[in-house]
Structure 1
Amino acid sequence: MTDRSVINTEDAYLDAITQIQNGHGPIAVDAERASGYRYSQRAYLIQIFRRDAGVFLFDPPAIGRFDALNEAIRDEEWIIHAASQDLACLREVGLDPTRVFDTELASRLLGLHRVGLGSVVEELLGIHLAKEHSAADWSTRPLPESWLEYAALDVELLVDVRDKLAEMLVAAGKERMAAQEFEATRLRQPKLVRQDPWRRLSGLSGVRGARNLAVARELWTARDSLARERDVAPGRLVPDASLVAVVKAQPRSSAALAALRDFKGRASRTDLSVWWNAIERGLGTDDLPPLRPAASDTLPPARAWSERNPEADARLKAARAALTLVAESISVPLENVLTPETLRRVAWIPPEPLTAEMVGNALRELGAREWQIEATAQTIVDAFVEGNQTASELQKSES
C-alpha cells in the first residue's frame, strides 16, 4: 500500500494485516490524538510502517478493536517515538507490544540536544520533517490529505532512524542502558488519579475560604461531567480562568452570572443553568473542603527544605552537584541518569546504614533501573556524607 487512504472498513483492515505480516523487520507505530479538542485521550489515527509492506493509516473509531492486528505483530519489535505518550491510547484499542524501541529515549541517552522527532530525523537522516499538524484536531473527518501525508511520514522514516540510533548506542556502549529504559517504559503503570482533581484549577491559589473552594469544586465537577458527556476538552467549554473569576465575583443570580464579563467560553451562556446549579450546590453544601489538600506522601518543594529539613537540603544539593558530573561524563541528561523525584525521596530519608548497597536497594524500590543504580549509588553515598558534614558544620556555626 503506497497511497495515503485511511483504512476504515473490516475488509481493508484484514487485508492490511496480511500485508504487514508479509513485510519484514521491526514495525514503526504512531498514534494521533485530539488533545486540547476532545475530553478523551483516545487515538483518532494509528499509523504503521513495515519494510516491504508500506504505510498503513487506520481509523480507530471506525475499526474499534485491533486485537487481530495485535495478534499478528505483538511479538515483533515496535518502534515508537516517545512511547510513554502513545502506549495508553494504543492499549485502549487492544494494541500492546512485548518489545519496544523508543527513538526519543534513545536520542536522550545518546545526548542529542534536540529529541523531537523532526529534529532527530533531520540530524540523523538529513531530511526536514515538517511538524505543522502535530497539534491538529485529529478527530476531524474526513482528514485532510496534507494531514495524512504528515502522519505517514511520522512512521515511514522511523525504521531508518531506529537503525541509526541502534548503531550509535552500540558504538557508545549504551545498548544495555537503552534496553532497560525501553522495557521500563513499556511496563510503566499509568499514574493514579490524584485526590481532589479539582484542585488543579489554574488560579485556585487565589481563592480564599472553604465556601468559595466548595463553589470552585462544584463548577469544576460540572464542567468535567459536561466535557466527558460531549467528549470535548474541558477548557474549550469554559477556561479555568473563567471558573476562578466566577468564584471570586460571587454572583448571586443566574442573571448576574450571565452578565459577568470574565465568564467566557463556548458553553458559558449556552449552558448557563449548568453553571448556576453548580454555584448553588457549592453555596448550599455542608460538605466543605479543607483549605489545604489532605496529607499525602508528596514531599515539600525543594525550596522549603533548608528550613524544614536542613540536613536533607544539604544532602540533596551535594548529590545534585555530584550527579551532574556523572551525567556529563556519560553524556546523558541528568533527569535520565536519575529522576529528580527519586533523588529527592532518597535525600529526604536516606537508608541506614548509608552504603552503596542500601542506597541501591532504595533506588530500586523507587523504580530506578540497574544501570542507573550502578552509575549513581556510590556517588550518592559520598555526596550524602559530604552533605551531612556540611549541615553539621552549619549547625555548629549557628549555635
Structure 2
Amino acid sequence: MSVRPTDTTGVGGLSGGAAGGNDPRFHGEPHLLAEPRAGVPDIIDTLDGFQRYCELLSQGVGPLGADAERASGYRYGHEDWLVQFKREGAGIGLLDPVALAAQGADWSQFNDAVGDATWIIHDSLQDLTGFYDIGLRPRRLFDTEIAARLLGLHRFGLSAVTEYYLGMTLAKEHSAADWSYRPLPRDWRNYAALDVELLAELMDHMSRDLVRQGKDEWAREEFAYALREGLQPRKPHPVPWLRISHINVLSHDRLGQAVAKALWEQRDRLARQYDIEPALLLSDAAIIEAARKKPHNNREFRAIRSLNVRVRIHTGSEQDKMFERYAPIQRSVKPSLWKTTIQQALDLPQDQWPTMPQPQHDAQTNAPRSMKYWQTHHPHRYETLQNVRRVIAQIAEDTHTPADVIIKPQIVRNLCWTDHPECRDVAGFFTEQGARDWQVRLLAASVSRVIM
C-alpha cells in the first residue's frame, strides 16, 4: 500500500539506498554525548559576529541543523531567546536574536547565506513560527520528529531518536530553563549546541530508512506541509480568555464566566506590562476557584488562599532559582487588585455577562470526540466509525505506521459524522480536511468500500 517515489530529491533532500537494505538501527550500548566535538561555542550577540557567521554559512556545504530556545513559563511572549545552527564548514552558531534585533541585524543576510539548503529541525512546528517572526525563511525542510513518527518509532524525542539511530543520548537537564537569562551559563550553551550537533548525521540515517520502508515520498509531502503551516504569522485565539484551563466547568454559570473573564483580562494586562508568564501572577486554578465561589466580602475573599499568596513553583531543581527571579514582580501585584476585579465583575448587569460560544458539531470541522456520545445518540454513525477505524488500523499494521500518523483521527470522525457517509467523495473530503496526497492515495479506496 506504500507509494514509491520516482526520484529522491525535492523537499527535505531525501536520499539513500534501495528499499530492503540493512537494518539502520544502532546495535550496541548507547553512550551519552557530553559536549559537541568542536567544543562549546560562545554566544553571537554582535553585528560583527553575526556577519562573520553568515559568511561562514555561505561557504558551508550540506544541510543546516536548526533549533530554538524560548523562555516559556517565565516570560509573557513566545519569542526566541536563542537560535542555534550547525552546517558543515561553518560549525555551530548560537545566536541571540533579541540582542541582534536591537542592533538592527538583517536576517535576510542569513537567509541568503544558507540559500536553498535543507533545514533539519526536530518538531519543526514548535520552531518555525518563531523563525518566521525573526525573519528567517527556510526553503526546504527535514523534520526528524515527523520522520520518526512515519517510521513507526515508539519514542520520538530527539534524544531517543539519536539513541535509536546513532547510539548517542543527549542530556536534557536544561530543557525547561529560563533562556532569557543573561549571560547564559556554559552548561546551558552546551545543551543548546548539542541539540544541533547530530542533526545532519541523523537526517542521513533516517533518509535511508524512509527509502527502505517506501515512505520517502510520504515524508516529502509531510515536510512540505509542515513548512507551509509553520511559516505563517501567529493566529490570535478568537476568544482568548477561553484558554483558561477547565473553563468548561463554568459552561452553565454566566456570572462565573464574567468573573473568570475579568480576572483573565486583568492578569493578561499585568503580565504583558511586566513581561512575565501570566500563571506566575495568578494560576488558572485560582481563577476557576474564584469564579465558582464568587467572594462577595473580605472574609470570603481571604478564604480563597490562592488569591492571597504569591504563586510559587517548586520543582526541587535549579529551576526554583529561576522562578525566584520574578518574585519582586509577583510581590508588586497585591491581592486587593484581584478582589477589586472580582467585585467589578459581580456588579456587572446581566446583559454584560459573557456568553461562551456553543460547540458546532458539523461534519466539516468538529465532530464530537466522545465515543459515549456517539454510542448513545448516534449508534449508526458509531458503527460506521468503528468499521472505518478497523480498516485504518489494518493499513497501519501493514505499513508499520501509527494510525494517527496515517490520518488525523478528527478527520475520520468528521467523515462519519453523518447518517449517509456513503454519499461522500472520500478522497475529496480527506483533501478538504487537510489530508496530504499520500494519505488520500493510501486510504480513500479502502475507506470508501467499507462505508458503502
Match of residue 210 from structure 2? 169
Match of residue 374 from structure 1? 441
- SS of 2:306's equivalent? coil
Match of residue 12 from structure 2? none
* 1:250 and 2:291 correspond: no
Match of residue 30 from structure 2? none
**Is this contact kept in 1: 2:129–2:234, CA < 8 A?**
no
* 1:315 and 2:384 correspond: yes
Amino acid at match of 2:67: D
Deviations 1:196-235 (A, max 9, x none): 3323322434445211210111001111222222222211
**Is this contact kept in 2: 1:254–1:272, CA < 8 A?**
no
Instruction: Give the alignment of 1:1-399 within 5 angstroms.
Output: 3-64=40-101, 66-188=107-229, 192-207=235-250, 209-253=253-297, 257-258=301-302, 260-263=304-307, 264-266=309-311, 267=330, 270-286=333-349, 287-290=352-355, 292-296=356-360, 297=362, 298-303=366-371, 304-349=373-418, 354=423, 358-385=425-452
Deviations 1:87-144 (A, max 9, x none): 0111110012111000111111111111100001111111121111111111111111
**Unaligned segments of structure 1, at least 5 residues:** 386-399
Offset at residue 21 of structure 1 (A): 1.0
Amino acid at match of 1:300: P
TM-score of the superposed pair, with normalisation by structure 1: 0.89
**Is this contact kept in 2: 1:238–1:268, CA < 8 A?**
no
Residues 84 and 351 from structure 1, CA distance in 2 versus in 1: closer, same or farther, beyond 3 angstroms? Answer: farther
Offset at residue 20 of structure 1 (A): 1.1
Offset at residue 191 of structure 1 (A): 7.5
What is the alpha-carbon distance in structure 1 between the residues aligned to residue 83 and residue 354 of structure 2?
42
What is the alpha-carbon distance in structure 1 between the residues aligned to residue 404 and residue 414 of structure 2?
14
What is the alpha-carbon distance in structure 2 between the residues aligned to residue 111 and residue 295 of structure 1?
34
- SS of 1:182's equivalent? helix
Residues 269 and 93 from structure 1, CA distance in 2 versus in 1: closer, same or farther, beyond 3 angstroms? Answer: closer
Deviations 1:6-61 (A, max 9, x none): 00000000000001111100101100111111221111110000012100000011
Amino acid at match of 2:130: C
Deviations 1:233-257 (A, max 9, x none): 2111111111222223322346753
Amino acid at match of 2:340: N
What is the alpha-carbon distance in structure 1 between the residues aligned to residue 283 and residue 422 of structure 2?
51
What is the alpha-carbon distance in structure 2 between the residues aligned to residue 2 and residue 269 of structure 1?
42
The number of aligned residues is 382
What is the alpha-carbon distance in structure 1 between the residues aligned to residue 176 and residue 135 of structure 2?
24
**Is this contact kept in 1: 2:57–2:90, CA < 8 A?**
yes
What is the alpha-carbon distance in structure 1 between the residues aligned to residue 419 and residue 435 of structure 2?
15
**Is this contact kept in 2: 1:38–1:232, CA < 8 A?**
yes
RMSD: 2.2
Identity of aligned residues (%): 37
- SS of 2:84's equivalent? strand
What is the alpha-carbon distance in structure 2 between the residues aligned to residue 293 and residue 4 of structure 1?
50
**Is this contact kept in 1: 2:40–2:189, CA < 8 A?**
no
What is the alpha-carbon distance in structure 2 between the residues aligned to residue 198 and residue 164 of structure 1?
45
Between 184-193 and 165-174, report the one with greater CA deviation: 184-193
What is the alpha-carbon distance in structure 1 between the residues aligned to residue 387 and residue 331 of structure 2?
51
Between 359-368 and 208-217, report the one with greater CA deviation: 208-217
What is the alpha-carbon distance in structure 1 between the residues aligned to residue 262 and residue 115 of structure 2?
44
Amino acid at match of 1:288: W
**Is this contact kept in 2: 1:258–1:269, CA < 8 A?**
no
What is the alpha-carbon distance in structure 2 between the residues aligned to residue 16 and residue 74 of structure 1?
14
Between 59-68 and 158-167, report the one with greater CA deviation: 59-68
Residues 192 and 308 from structure 1, CA distance in 2 versus in 1: closer, same or farther, beyond 3 angstroms? Answer: farther
What is the alpha-carbon distance in structure 2 between the residues aligned to residue 204 and residue 365 of structure 1?
31
**Is this contact kept in 1: 2:40–2:193, CA < 8 A?**
no
What is the alpha-carbon distance in structure 2 between the residues aligned to residue 98 and residue 191 of structure 1?
19
Between 96-105 and 298-307, report the one with greater CA deviation: 298-307
Deviations 1:248-305 (A, max 9, x none): 3322346753563232434487333432332133112231123x53343533233211
- SS of 1:124's equivalent? helix
Between 235-244 and 345-354, report the one with greater CA deviation: 345-354
What is the alpha-carbon distance in structure 2 between the residues aligned to residue 370 and residue 119 of structure 1?
29
